[in-house]
Amino acid sequence: MITFFFRIIKNGWQEFWRNRLVSGIAVIIMTVALTVLTSTYFFYFLSGKVLEILKDKVDIAVYFKQDASQKDILEIKNALENLKEVKKVEYISKERAFEEFKERHKNDEIIIASLEELEENPLEASLNIKSYHPEDYSLITQYLKSNEYIALIDKITYSQNQLAINRLTKIINSFETGIIFICIFALIIVFIVIFNTVRLAIFSKKDEIEIMRLVGASNAFIRGPFLVAGILYGFLGSIFAIVIIFLGIKTFSPYLNSFIPEINLYQYFIKNFFTIILWQSLLGIFLGTFSSIFAIRKYLSI
């Protein structure tokens, strides 16, 4: 069995090398497809992190009237924290708001002089609310407006942030849909190329296959080399693809890190290198094997 197995591998390599021009094209297409699929994964990871950062920066602020007591505001804060849509609520007192305002404008002499002329703090206490999902802000706003709390509220900034929140939600949904279509398209291209490559190899060996049948070669011995060739297309394509991905990430990661310091794509790649190369190799081998089996079953009737 071991000798039989190694003969099939040897014949598969010879089949791959004999048609090296066609095999090279198949490997190139496989490399491009796997590069696209892996790049799509990294783009998905990167976009997900960027969207998380953006979502973390999006919030709504509830400003309270001057006569609203701290007790009432904290009561509203506790009520909001019990909502399943709410991730975090931060209370900013009038005094804190005033100090933060002065700190932001400490270099503006006119504003500082104006503040010193004031007899009382003109700023309002507020609650900054963050939700788990951008679409939840409308529900939180409706909750605040439909309760007795509305008598204490001066302004809710949801209307000002609504456009940004809606755009962010659409980007998330559109991106997830686009990722699915890109992956399906790449998989179809790989299948068609490998399928036709194996089909051409079968047709080019038609006479040789007939002779092998006449001398009593087993079905596995005849089909095996074509299957091995398909595996080689996938394995070599995955190796070349990971090299391209590595070089691309190493080149562009410093530029990306300068724009988005919170994300280090190169570090993520190195940390998950073995997992990435394992899954990419398995995907390449699976695609090559599946396409080869399909072509063998259709064009190599034994």
Is 50 in the same domain as 176? yes
pLDDT of residue 4: 63
Question: Rounded to whole angstroms, how far apart are CA atoms 268 and 272?
Answer: 6
Is 163 a domain residue?
Answer: no
Is 61 a domain residue?
Answer: no
What's the whole-model pTM score? 0.65
Q: Which domain holds residue 282?
A: 2-54+170-299
Is 210 in the same domain as 280? yes
Token pair belonging to 233: 């297309």
Is 175 in the same domain as 282? yes
Is 128 in the same domain as 105? yes
Is residue 296 a contact partner of residue 226, using CB atoms and an 8 Å limit? yes
Residue 78 — very low, low, confident or very high, per pLDDT cuts 50/70/90?
Answer: very high
Is 203 in the same domain as 289? yes
Is 122 in the same domain as 70? yes
CATH number of the domain where residue 99 is located: 3.30.70.3040
The structural domain count of the chain equals 2
Is 42 in the same domain as 175? yes
**Nearest partner of 16 among 192, 224, 208, 232, judged by Cα:** 232
Is 164 a domain residue?
Answer: no
Is 107 in the same domain as 36? no
At 140-167, the pLDDT tens digits run 888 888 878 888 998 888 655 567 656 7
Is 222 a domain residue?
Answer: yes
**What backbone phi and psi angles, to 5 degrees, belong to 153?**
-90, 135
pLDDT of residue 142: 87
- Mean pLDDT rounded to a whole number for the chain: 81
**Nearest partner of 64 among 129, 149, 148, judged by Cα:** 149
Is 209 in the same domain as 284? yes
